[in-house]
Amino acid sequence: MGARPPLDPTELARLLRQRRELAAPALFLGATTRDEFMARVREIGAAGPREDQEGATAPPRAVKSTPGPRPGPSAGERMAARTPNEPEAGDRAEMDYDTLRDHAMTCTRCGLAETRNSVVFSDGNPAARLVVVGEAPGANEDRTGLPFVGAAGKLLDLMLASVDLSREDSVYICNVLKCRPPGNRNPQADEIQACSPFLKRQLALVRPEALLAVGTFAAQLLTGRDRPLGRLRGEVHAYEGIPLVVTYHPAALLRNSGWVRPTWDDLQLLRQVMDG
């Protein structure tokens, strides 16, 4: 039998929606679809540019680790010192969505403000059932101002479509950092600290039914645990009372095919959580 062409994520989402409308049994996709998923990951990996594969070279590490001794103030400390009128985290905790977004768009609380082209606040529906939290914008995102638009983004769309979710209707996407770390290096502890009040308030305002953290940085930040991703995934955590599933970053899947199957399992777990 000849190989079937891989399913397009939009088509897959449409088929799955149809199944639901026809009251087909709760979504547990069969082996064929999982194989298609794995084949599609390989295909995206083979075709995609490497420039936006954040996390691809990053060794897993704890986000709360204290940076080593430094000769002087960090870029973030210098920027914060220069902007005394910037609201503190406490003020930000009261902001409505549009005000929060406006503040993020002009934020200078860390050194990334000096090198970014765009602040990448979010994509998708702020009334979404699911929020996906990634690591930080890459080159494509910095150029377009939207999260997950490169090869990793294609794969994220596929991951979502495989459990009948699409970023247009049912998902809101954002990152731990709103600005691109130069050269796609790992986020630094001071950058995460400066930026996370935005994420915290975003999540409080969107208040989704479920959260999906992709990659070590988002997973460690939202679970509050310093464990490697492989030891955080596979269970349902809670972030401020919201069920939280963590899984591998799509960019990591593009370089390690051994993580595709566990990611599939995590997505099924997410779907179960969302199906109540």
CB 105, min distance to ligand URA, A: 16
CA separation for the pair 174, 244 (Å, rounded): 15
Amino acid code (one letter) for 100? L
CA separation for the pair 130, 153 (Å, rounded): 16
Chain positions contacting ligand URA, by CB under 6 A: 52, 54, 120, 134-138, 141, 147-148, 152, 175, 215, 251
Q: Which of 239, 274, 268, 246 is nearest to 135 (CA)?
A: 246
Comparison of 144 and 193: residue with beta carbon closer to ligand URA: 144
Comparison of 148 and 239: residue with beta carbon closer to ligand URA: 148
8 Å CB contact between 135 and 175 = yes
Comparison of 193 and 272: residue with beta carbon closer to ligand URA: 193
CB 265, min distance to ligand URA, A: 21
Q: What is the number of the residue whose Cβ is closest to ligand URA?
A: 134
Go through 89-110 and write b for each residue having 16 or more CB atoms within 10 A of its CB, e for each that does not. eeebeebeeeebbebbeebebb
Find the helix or strand (DSSP H, E) in which 97 lies: helix 97-105
CB 71, min distance to ligand URA, A: 30
CB 192, min distance to ligand URA, A: 13
**E strand residue ranges, 29-165:** 123-124, 130-134
Comparison of 37 and 217: residue with beta carbon closer to ligand URA: 217
Comparison of 165 and 251: residue with beta carbon closer to ligand URA: 251
CB 216, min distance to ligand URA, A: 10
CA separation for the pair 122, 19 (Å, rounded): 29
